[in-house]
Amino acid sequence: MNRLLYIQKMMKLLVLAAPLLFSSCSDLLENDNEFFHVATQEQQWNSLTDTRSAMFGVYGLMRTALGENNTFWATGDLRMGDFTVRTRSDLQAIRDNKLDSPFENIKKISDWTRFYKVINAACLFIEKAKEVVEKDPAYSEVNYTYDAAQVRVIRALAYFYMVRMWGDVPLITYSYDNGTFPKVARTDADVVLNYVINELREAAKLLPEQLGASSDKYYGFDAATWKGLLLNRYSAYTILAHVEAWRGNYIDAEIYSAHVLDKMERFINAIEIFTTTSNLVAPKGIFYGDYNVDYRAARLVSFGYKYTSNEVNEVGTDGHLESWTLAEPIVRKQLPDIYLSKDTLKNMFMRTYTSDNRVGVNDMSTPVAYYKNYITGMSLDYPIFSKIQVVTGSDNGDHNLGVYSSFIIFSRMEDMQLLRAEALVVLNRPSDALALLNELRDIRNLPNMSYAKNLDSDPKKLLKEIFQERRREPIGEGHRWYDSIREARIVGDDQEMVTLLNNGGIYWPVSGDVLRENPTIEQNDYWKR
């Protein structure tokens, strides 16, 4: 079959499948037609099968909200980030923070409707699923408690994303018909975040440490099946750590991140709790759906895609950073759309001699060679960012189909380690913060830093080093833009970002479609031009 026709067929299937499925479970439930349902007001809420379909549907909608138009990466990595755009004007506009440019993908990213689909489905589940407890003996109170807690976490995450993207947003806590979006005004961002925090705290109380760990299992499967795939108690605490850091409440950010780091260790069957560099960059490493079960807990909050041999597949070119970054020799694409320039790589990884095994210099080899785990083709005009490269659809290894199935990872253990280090510096505990930073540096083959010798006992320099590590370690994982905002707030030496902060320029414009549909919504001040 012609490659283009095959991809078109795949994309047609995606249109049907992507909003419906939580992919990591598709292999478990591949023969269950009921699984392919979306929660609607018309759905029959009578059985465990109905609730299961609806709950996984909420996961799928959240994944779609993040992945559609590559929103997760456009907003988190591309906007004023480290990637260079090669030729595409639409991506360049996002890179340059020209978000009022008339490109179709910018208009779509600016539309918050997809997040409200998540919220509506979550609200509907909470309202309707409890009725099933009375109708189907197979669906217990415990089932409902765990299911409702998960969708509350997803709903809270959706609101957190929207606040970071738009600031004030309408706070809606009840279900409504999808065709009649409530015409309500925007709610103050602080009020929304307070709601998010309360929801996450309550959900954390209700969720177990690990779904399926009890003798009853969870939807028929044990903890090994669900590890790193479904949200648990520590997923809620992980999001709470990020919310509190965003609010500047570093006391609670430190408490939550420390709790996650301490408690999650028991669920990772390894000497180390962090992901090795080889597993971080391998095609079947941490971003892969079937990543080693012992390490899946390192993915604290994630949403996945799955390629199967069945008629319905969830892979494609949209919703994956790889569609922008990969090219020959990894996939059949001549050049990448975006790349990390050699100057950027030097600034990030090699300002001085470095043994960093992600991108560094291996002086133990003869001749001297580069560590290039994050990069393919250091000698090319456009080095290929190949850290994330889950390419599927070809059994012979030539990857000629060029379709992707990598997980969207919101947070992993290394993220929590660095977030805690950031909080500790703000809380005047620099020695503890440096210990955490050095622990991660050691894993990436970097020497320990001395607070006095390397950082002049200056907490600001330590903070900048932590944020530099956040620039390196999770690049391509949707953090850079939000990290830059927090750095500007607490360090304050990036004048361009400080100016954006002071003028509301950190937010996205609200879509024109939203403004036309709801007259109570006003455009963000920065974009009233």
The sign of the torsion formed by the CA atoms of 267, 272, 273, 278 equals negative
Structure tokens at 519: 């007259």
DSSP codes joined into one string, 466-515: HHHHHHHTTTTSS-HHHHHHHHHHHT---HHHHHHHHHTTTSPPPPHHHH
pLDDT at residue 78 in the model: 98
Q: Would you tell me how many other CB atoms lie within 10 Å of the CB of residue 119? A: 28
CA Rg value for the chain: 22
Distance between CA atoms of 225 and 521, rounded to whole angstroms? Answer: 44
Helix or strand or coil: residue 519? coil
Distance between CA atoms of 130 and 151, rounded to whole angstroms? Answer: 13
Q: Answer with the one of 246, 270, 294 that is the final residue of a domain.
A: 270
Closest to 287 measured CA to CA, from 299, 277, 297: 299
Distance between CA atoms of 48 and 139, rounded to whole angstroms? Answer: 5
Question: What are the angstrom distances between the C-alpha of 216 and each of 143, 211, 219, 220, 485?
Answer: 10, 10, 9, 8, 44
Report strand pairing: 403-404 vs 391-392.
Answer: antiparallel
Residue 247's Cβ-count burial label (10 Å; 0-12, 13-18, 19+) is middle
In order along its 529 residues, the chain shows pLDDT tens digits of: 333 333 233 333 333 333 333 333 333 333 333 333 345 555 689 999 999 999 999 999 999 999 999 999 999 999 999 999 999 999 999 999 999 999 999 999 999 999 999 999 999 999 999 999 999 999 999 999 999 999 999 999 999 999 999 999 999 999 988 667 889 999 999 999 999 999 999 999 999 998 888 766 888 888 888 888 899 999 999 999 999 999 999 999 999 999 999 998 777 765 578 999 999 999 999 999 888 877 888 999 999 875 443 333 455 567 899 999 999 988 888 999 999 999 999 889 876 668 999 999 887 777 778 889 999 998 899 999 999 999 876 444 455 556 888 999 999 999 999 999 999 999 999 999 999 999 999 999 999 999 999 999 999 999 999 999 999 999 999 999 999 999 999 999 999 999 999 999 999 999 999 999 999 999 999 999 7
Residue 391 is given by DSSP the state E
pLDDT at residue 290 in the model: 83
Let me know: does 207 contact 189? Beta carbons within 8 Å. no
Let me know: does 350 contact 438? Beta carbons within 8 Å. no
Let me know: does 24 contact 315? Beta carbons within 8 Å. no
Residue 231 is given by DSSP the state -
- What range defines the domain where residue 212 resides? 3-270
Does residue 376 form part of some domain? no
**Residue 171: left if φ>0, alpha if ψ -120 to 50, beta else—which one?**
beta
Question: What are the angstrom distances between the C-alpha of 466 and each of 388, 423, 434, 449, 499?
Answer: 23, 10, 9, 11, 22
Let me know: does 174 contact 127? Beta carbons within 8 Å. yes
In the numeric block, the tokens 């706070």 are attached to: 171
Residue 453's Cβ-count burial label (10 Å; 0-12, 13-18, 19+) is exposed
pLDDT at residue 507 in the model: 98
Helix or strand or coil: residue 403? strand
| Residue type, position 515, single letter | L
Does residue 523 form part of some domain? no
Q: Would you tell me how many other CB atoms lie within 10 Å of the CB of residue 457? A: 12
Does residue 292 form part of some domain? no
Cis ω for the linkage preceding 329 (within 30 of 0): yes
Q: Answer with the one of 270, 295, 317 that is the final residue of a domain.
A: 270
Instruction: List own/partner pairs for 497-501 with CB under 8 A and 24 or more apart.
Output: 497/80, 500/97, 500/526
Distance between CA atoms of 267 and 228, rounded to whole angstroms? Answer: 10
For residues 140, 145, 148 and 153, what is the CA-based torsion angle, rounded to 10 degrees?
-150
pLDDT at residue 393 in the model: 61
Q: Answer with the one of 270, 287, 302 that is the final residue of a domain.
A: 270
Distance between CA atoms of 205 and 240, rounded to whole angstroms? Answer: 13
DSSP codes joined into one string, 297-317: GGEEEEE-----SSS----BS
pLDDT at residue 312 in the model: 39
pLDDT at residue 269 in the model: 62
State the CATH number of the domain containing residue 255.
Answer: 1.25.40.390
Let me know: does 318 contact 67? Beta carbons within 8 Å. yes
pLDDT at residue 15 in the model: 33
Does residue 516 form part of some domain? no
The sign of the torsion formed by the CA atoms of 506, 512, 517, 521 equals positive
Q: Into how many domains does the chain fold?
A: 2
Structure tokens at 487: 């750095």
Does residue 180 form part of some domain? yes
Let me know: does 326 contact 389? Beta carbons within 8 Å. yes
Does residue 388 form part of some domain? no
Does residue 514 form part of some domain? no
Let me know: does 59 contact 22? Beta carbons within 8 Å. yes
Does residue 528 form part of some domain? no
